[in-house]
Amino acid sequence: MCGITGYLGDGDSVELIAQGLKNLEYRGYDSAGVAVVDDDVNVYKQEGTIDGITLPDSEPTAYGIGHTRWSTHGPPSDRNAHPHTDCTGDIAVVHNGIISNYHELKADLDGHIFESDTDTEVIPHLIEEELADGVDLLPAVQRVLDRLEGSFAIGVGQAGSERLIGARQDSPLVVGHGEDGTFLASDVTAFIEQTKFVSYLEDGDVVDVGVDGATVYNDGEVVDREPQEIKWDAEDTSKAGHDHYMHKEIHEQPHALRQTLSGRVDETAGKVDLELDLGDELLEGIDRVHIVACGTSYHAGLYAKRLFETYSGLSVEVSRASEYRVHDGHDPENTLAVAITQSGETADTLSAIRTAKSIGTPTLAVTNTVGSTVTREVDDTVYIRAGPEIGVAATKTFVSQVATLALVAVHAGRVRGTISASKAASFLQSVNQLPSAVQEVLNSEAVIERIAEKYADSESFFFIGKAYGHPVALESALKLKEISYEHAEGFPAGELKHGPLALVTEQTPVIALLTEGTEAAETMSNVKEVQSRGAPVIGLSSDSGKSEFCEELIEVPEMGEMEPVVANVALQLLAYHVADLKGRAIDKPRNLAKSVTVE
């Protein structure tokens, strides 16, 4: 996730764009840049935030585009910072999202000089080619858009044109209608101090901003995107109207998942492309995987264990990174060590991966953070592409980790021949449905909020689940305890009767995963056990018939073995609302830090 902003009008363009980028820093902050457009294009950009860049004073005729970056292709660096330009230096482009076919597009751009490692840079060069054929800027951009695959929002400026072009496909872009000019931005936050009148672009929209304002096209036709008045204030801005980052990040999950999956899944062929450097030979030669991770990432690892065992025939051990040891007699050549860490900086996980490396085990990182320490130490990295997560409690990174690991499992299975193309295709179909399934759960937030109100004052909360339900029970309990400071525990459903049942009373609601992939029929007997001790049961299931066995039922869409991770989103909301009712510091819970860099 990156932040785009642009301005064309009578105001101080450079100042307005720089302010917009500061407001958008919550979307990414590893590098920044501005293209000031007039009779020529001047680009100012570097690694770090916009504060580190010396910008010129604005000329009255100047306008421009700006960008604050969260890397997905190429590490944070001056050369990878946006805007990117074409060979003539007359076209500048900023981009948010992923161009999934950029390799193919780049191969067609023979003779062009590329200066960065980004996917974005193909866009100005493609526009350059169209302009060389004598086409105007707007149709040139439209033709290029027809060739792009993936999810993206872009802003384009051209020397001497007095136009800014924007386009949106699966990535947000809005137009701000100011008194003295028009803004383009990833979201309203960028310009809220200047105007509250906003047009929300839709997928496929292309906006042409000139001195007279903005015209929006879709499929070549002019469309009306009626301006709406924003009701919230500048101080709410980086949270985009949400009370907490955590709430915003929970709601960003459909988008985060789309980014995770973008360009990686060929559902028809049952294939996955993760651009792995680790060769097929290595995946064929191993027979086990050691996953090392902490906290929420460890729970994603437990989910992945079952996916790997089901789809790639690999035997998987998941260790809390702080407990990871390699035993005598262990054969490193048969093993792949996988570090799961959203930050890429967790000291325990780094230490575990160093242990694995020290005996010659090949290593893979699954992380959200390009250029983080783990990526520099492992043999290969797969990015989860969830965008920056500011709330201390991990939410969108958990679902993106699970989705990424599902793709790794299918890829390994296809390479190893342990899964047929048709089985892979049907599983990938449900993986591809994750964004819409998660959106469905988010749409039922009012139900979950009511349940939170009903049980917020309970003594303790138990979460139970079997199979894929077990990691989700652990994760949901962790989420509730860390942000509400209430006692919560997650258990394999069958374990309750071996001890914890002694704690169950009418004051301990039991949240039961009764979805697909959780052996729900067996969990139902554990539900009966707790109900007969007076505990209220909150069930999660895609089967509405389960409501007669539970005090409350949260319904989730049918998703096969990915259903529990979708149910997890409902339980993030439950944790959020319990904590909110108690007035906790949700984004910065006491004693906790976002990145734990000590062992």
Select which of 2, 196, 396, 550 is catalytic.
2
Residue 476 host element (H or E): helix 469-484
Residue 374 or 448: which CB sits closer to ligand F6R?
Answer: 374
**Residues 6+ away with beta carbon under 8 Å from 553:** 538, 539, 540, 541, 544, 546, 547
Select which of 423, 454, 582, 594 is catalytic.
594
DSSP string, 511-562: EEE-STTS-HHHHHHHHHHHHTTT--EEEEES-GGGGGGSSEEEE----GGG
Q: How far is the CB of 242 from ligand F6R (least distance, A)?
A: 18
Residue 294 or 504: which CB sits closer to ligand F6R?
Answer: 294
Active-site annotation holds for 550: no
Q: How far is the CB of 368 from ligand F6R (least distance, A)?
A: 8
Closest CA to 289 of 385, 384, 366: 366
Q: How far apart are CA 393 and CA 587, in angstroms?
A: 7
Q: How far apart are CA 134 and CA 145, in angstroms?
A: 17
Which residue has the closest beta carbon to ligand F6R? 295
Q: How far apart are CA 237 and CA 5, in angstroms?
A: 15
Q: How far is the CB of 297 from ligand F6R (least distance, A)?
A: 4
Residue 292 or 553: which CB sits closer to ligand F6R?
Answer: 292
Q: Which two tokens stand for residue 539?
A: 């069930």
**Residues 6+ away with beta carbon under 8 Å from 106:** 114, 122
Contact between 557 and 440 under an 8 Å Cβ cutoff? The reply is yes
Residue 445 or 587: which CB sits closer to ligand F6R?
Answer: 587
Q: What are phi and psi for residue 433, nearest 5 degrees?
A: -85, -5
8, 127, 158, 159, 390 from 61: Cα distances, Å: 9, 23, 13, 12, 38
Residue 19 or 343: which CB sits closer to ligand F6R?
Answer: 343
Active-site annotation holds for 294: no
Q: How far apart are CA 196 and CA 115, in angstroms?
A: 38
Residue 12 or 482: which CB sits closer to ligand F6R?
Answer: 482
Contact between 208 and 163 under an 8 Å Cβ cutoff? The reply is yes
Q: Which residues of the shown chain bind ligand F6R in the complex (CB under 6 A)?
A: 294-297, 341-343, 346, 349, 393-394, 478, 482, 595-596
Calculate the dihedral angle through the C-alpha atoms of 341, 343, 349, 355, rounding to the nearest 10 degrees: 100
User: Which amino acids are annotated catalytic?
Assistant: 2, 594
